[in-house]
Amino acid sequence: MSKKLKEVLANAGISMDLQSGGAAPEKMVDREVKREPHPRIKKLKDIFMDTLSSANNEFTYWYTREYMMHDCEIPVVRRAMALKSAFSHSTPAIYPGELLVMHKASYFRGSFPMPWLSEGFYMAHEDEFYKEALKRGSASVDEHSKFGQGGGNVTKSFGKVISIAGKFGMRQEEIPALLKLAKMWYGKSVDDLGNKYEKMVPEYKTKEQIMRSIICMFDSGFTLPQGREIINYYYPLEYGFDGIIKIAKELKDKVAGKADGDGMVGMNRLYNYEAIILVIEGMQKWINNYAKEAHRLEKITQDEKQKEEYKSIAERLEWIEHNPPRTFIEAFQMIETLHIGVLNEDAISGMSPGRIGLVLYPYFEQDIEAGRLTEDEAIELLEQDRIVKTSIDCFASTGVVGGVLSGNTFNTVSVGGLDREGQSAVNRLEYLILEASANNAMPQSTIALLYDEKLPEDFLMLAMEVIKCGTGYPAFMNTVIAQEFLMKQYCKEGMNLEDVRSWAIGGCLETSPSVWELLHLNGKEYWIPGGAGQPTSVGVHFLSMPKVLELVLFNGIDPRTKEKVYEPHNSKLETYEELWKQFKLYWQITCQVLTWTNNIQHDVWRKNNMAILNSLMKPDCLDKGHLINELGYRYNGTFSIESAGTITMVNSLAALKKIVYDDKSETLDTIKDAILDNFGFKDASEVNSFSLADQERKNNDAGKWEKLHFEVLQAPKYGNDDKFADNILLEWEEFFCEDATHYESLYGLNMYPCQISVSTHGAMGSATLATADGRLSGTTFADASMSAFPGTDRNGPYALLNSASIWDHAQSQNSQLNIKIHPTAIRGIEGSKKLLALTRAYMRKGGFHIQYNIVDSKVLAAAQKNPENYRDLMVRVAGFTQYWVEIGKAVQDELIARTEYEGV
Amino acid sequence: MENLLYRDARNYVPIDVTKGIDHLTGQIVMADKEAPNGYEVMPKCKNCKNFKDDGELMGICESSMSNPKFFAYPDMVAVTCEMYSNKL
Ligand code: SF4
């Protein structure tokens, strides 16, 4: 039997089952804290657990039918008409027991295709559209992405159900319509039009090669054009839908025919207000259809209690269809409706509700005081909200939804943080949000705790309890660091200290700009926060640093595809400085060409596919009459350059520096040969697995690379408070954080660095050869941006924190550190205190983000063997929590292999 | 006349592509199973007077305002279509 990588690593002192700071008990240990939701919620959750991700064409059909009718209409009005028709025709689906209603499509976990963005990926592989997408590189990553085989994913067709993009189930009866609709968008979608014009960028060929080599994970302009931002519920809460229409009509009268000094887009305000009115009317009709359905169900239902509930649902919907909400449940229904509405407007991942504990507090406070609501009832609603959010699917390609997102949609709720005056913003409702998130542990909404020294101790201890449920949330984000970053990035757009404090996390861990707005409720005033910035999911998506380094070593040629990606540098790389310089040059070429091509895609998006609903809710669109595409948002400098594989690259550079350049014990050519030969191991595709644990030595391997492999594995590694490796990270961060600000988005504003990995470390790893740190070809990179490579952080958690905080995190939108801890290491109150102390230590050192997987690795291994017994097991991947069974095997293996801390 | 399938019945709400809830009984039922006798028909294009069948799970919506008339497909639920006209 061939020797496995696991044994080779063990011989080099790197354990893939590393237990740091003690030994785990032999028996499998469950998580310490386990809670249950209310019985009604449990019933709905049971339905969710057995629900398949399902799609139909209803929204797609009505959107397309209306859009195609209005050929010569002004684009924003044409889109609004299409959206109005689609919302108005969405079939309501209400399920018994629901208190909060309305769904994306008429399924419990429904979604629908948006061929106006991109149509190629759900065509059959033989189809010419798909082939074309493959040629462009936009489908390459699909080939390297896998969904988990269980849970709600429809990975294979069966019976009358067809699997689309490896995730969504669609009824056979709908398929001809899907293909017909898709073909209607051929040449018109953002993908196709964007491609037509991006080809005009002289360096376009390089872009194509970059995509095909999977140096970049995906285009941002047509895959998920919006997201990783904070929604803003303020205007509908303050004015109601009728109120917004009234404002828009008054302003429409005021601006009609007037440029008001703006010869470029001043006149557009008229059309924009018209579009706003149309979309709101569509929303109202959608709500009204649900109200009618609730009345219908009230009539046919025998159960008296359920009958009464349907009646209340109908009345609530009829009220919010026109008016601002008056109570907690009305406000909750309103924000739920808006949230789903925005997600139906565009393909979005990471539309985060933000600080709903502050947004809903006015209603909560007044209802509690008036005796209209109990805390228990509020918790029940918050528990249901978790089902609503977890049921949200985003219909996009396998590469995007599977390879990058692991099916997650990042509807992150933020708690904690500061109020407008700079004091702790924690209120009673935020405690209940945490309670509900423990009672009903589900992936969504993932919770971000905006840490500040001023937050109450009992709130932080409650957060530790929630973490101990094994939810992977709350994650801790550092307010001080975020505020510094926001000031730096947005002061030129007028951000002040008060608004800085309204920030929240959009998506998994994206620091996002927000503002305070004054809400009036029964004569009382409340400052509530909400998003005021463009999506932060936009710009250059996930650049594989290890792959760029590979291209440097191989003179611009991708050894996997044998294609030339960059112009050969022809440098002999005789010094470390030369190697580093060349890496930076290739990196910059990549950032530049992708900025230009993505700018074109986004420009096409903003011309034909602009946000209207999301826009009208964000300051200052309604007031200014300009939507997102005309810089209507308060903050527009949100485009970023995203890195991936940081630590794998840092470790690789450390090995090269030490072995080739400092000690000169091996030549660079020898290391390159070893990389090409995968250190004597079989190719991952031969093993038929991209997972770390499964890699095997070649059958005929005579141990040619054994010594060298041992040597590179022994080279300094990040995560041990070892300056040799950590200084390489520091040098990278100083370069990257500054360099990213040199690229300009289509809005004429500078970009910034973003450092999240989501699941890209799996898919990108699968397209990358072995690396100089000893990692094998095709296997995962280290996750996140600050996590150590599994098994290489041997000096305990505090050493890891020191390594991670060697650079100034405020220079970047984020950074990401994940730690796995055995449940016994943090048992009881004392354990919670230790975990809080560890978290605080990192925040005080200037770390931006930390989160924990509290799980026995043996449980994960058992779940991989018998997934049917672990349908509800959740894990933290990289910035998000997901059901174990819904993530791909490569990332599962990486999670099992992560160092497990037995003591903190 | 054959019994309706649940997925063609008015009081069936789909949970996903395979199953849903029968609102009259509160039970989870399979989409392709027959509903009991007497269940009301779900408005779908295939039950609409304006639907002109083209075969191959496709057809034309005669009430469409576009030229040529926009397509329709038989299985689309039509509870929200103002132009739906029951042919059964
Ligand atoms: S009128 Fe409505 S229900 Fe009838 S065929 Fe046309 S779209 Fe379908």
A and B: number of Cβ contacts within 8 A: 94
One domain, residues B49 and B86 = yes
Contact A176 B15 (CB under 8 A): no
How many Å lie between the centroid of ligand 1 and the Cα of residue A288? 20
> Chain B contacts of A295, Cβ < 8 Å?
none
Give the pLDDT confidence of A819-843 residue by residue, as tens digits.
989 899 999 999 999 999 999 999 9
Same domain? For B62 and B29 the reply is no
Q: Is the peptide bond before A353 cis (omega within 30 degrees of 0)?
A: no
Exposed, middle or buried by CB within 10 Å (0-12, 13-18, 19+), for A371? exposed
Output Rg (C-alpha) for chain B, integer angstroms: 14
Does A90 contact B at CB distance below 8 Å? yes
Q: Which residue has the tokens 């295939």?
A: B46
Residue with tokens 């310490």: A32
Say which of B23, B58, B66 has its CB closest to residue A69: B66
Q: Residue A109 is nearest to which of B16, B32, B64, comparing CB atoms? A: B16
Helix (H, G, I), strand (E, B) or coil at A115: coil
> Min CA distance, A310 vs chain B (Å)?
12
> B48 and B17 in one domain?
no
Question: What confidence category does residue A136 fall into, taking pLDDT thresholds of 50, 70 and 90?
Answer: low
User: How many domains does chain B divide into?
Assistant: 2
Q: Which atom of ligand 1 is nearest to the CA of B43?
A: 3
B28 and B69 within one domain: no
Range of the domain at B50: 43-88
Which residues of chain A lie closer than 8 angstroms to B13, CB-CB?
93-95, 106
> Quick check: A85 and B66 in contact, CB under 8 A?
no
Tell me the one-letter amino acid at A99: L
Under DSSP, the state recorded for A402 is: I
**pLDDT band at A139, cuts 50/70/90?**
low
Q: Which residues, in sequence order, are CB contacts of A693 under 8 Å at separation 6+?
A: A4, A5, A6, A16, A893, A896, A897
ipTM field? 0.98
Q: Do the Cβ atoms of B17 and A154 come within 8 Å?
A: yes
* Residue among B16, B64, B74 whose CB faces A108 most closely: B16
Lowest-pLDDT range of A114-123, A145-154, A459-468, A570-579: A145-154
CATH number at residue B65: 2.20.70.100
Question: Does residue B63 have its Cβ closer than 6 Å to ligand 1?
Answer: yes
| Distance, CA of A478 to CA of A843 (rounded, Å) | 6
| Cα angle: A686, vertex A692, A696; to 5 degrees | 45
Within this chain, do residues B26 and B50 fall inside the same structural domain, yes or no? no
Confirm or reject: Cβ of B51 under 6 Å from ligand 1.
Answer: yes
> Is the confidence at residue A127, as pLDDT, over 80?
no
Angstrom distance (rounded) from CA A703 to CA A681: 10
Sign of CA dihedral A648, A653, A656, A662: negative
Which chain A residues are closer than 8 Å to B80 by Cβ? Answer: 88-91, 289
Report CB contact under 8 Å: A95, B21.
Answer: yes
Taking the centre of ligand 1 as the mean of its atom positions, its distance from the CA of residue B45, in whole angstroms, is: 5
Whether B50 and B65 share a structural domain: yes
Q: What is the b/e burial string over B12-25, where b = at least 16 CB atoms within 10 angstroms of the residue's CB?
A: bbbbbbbbbbbbbe
Name the pLDDT band for A540 (thresholds 50, 70, 90): very high
Q: Are A146 and A155 in contact (CB under 8 A)?
A: no
pLDDT cut 70: percent of chain A above it: 95
* CA distances (Å), origin A131, targets A120, A198, A400, A480, A548: 8, 19, 18, 48, 26
Residue with tokens 């943090």: A826
The mean of the pLDDT values for chain B is: 95
Please give the residue that has the higher pLDDT: either A769 or A397. Answer: A769
pLDDT, tens digit, 9 for 90 and up, residues A783-810? 889 999 988 999 999 999 999 999 999 9
Tell me what the mean pLDDT of segment A450-459 comes to.
Answer: 98
C-alpha distances out from residue A784 to A473, A819, A840, Å? 16, 11, 20
The average pLDDT across B43-66 equals 94
pLDDT mean across residues, chain A: 92
Look at residue A684 in the predicted model and tell me its pLDDT. Answer: 79
DSSP code at position A782:
P
Q: In this structure, are B56 and B20 located in the same domain?
A: no
Predicted confidence at residue A215, as pLDDT, reads 96
A132 pLDDT band (50/70/90 cuts)? low
Cα–Cα distance for residue pair A291/A381, rounded to 1 Å: 19
Same domain for B50 and B36: no
Dihedral sign (CA A348, A314, B31, A883)? positive
Identify whether residues B35 and B48 lie together within a single domain. Answer: no
Return the number of other C-beta atoms located less than 10 Å from residue A584's C-beta: 16
Q: Does A261 score more than 60 pLDDT?
A: yes
Contacts of A69 in chain B (CB under 8 A): 65-66, 70
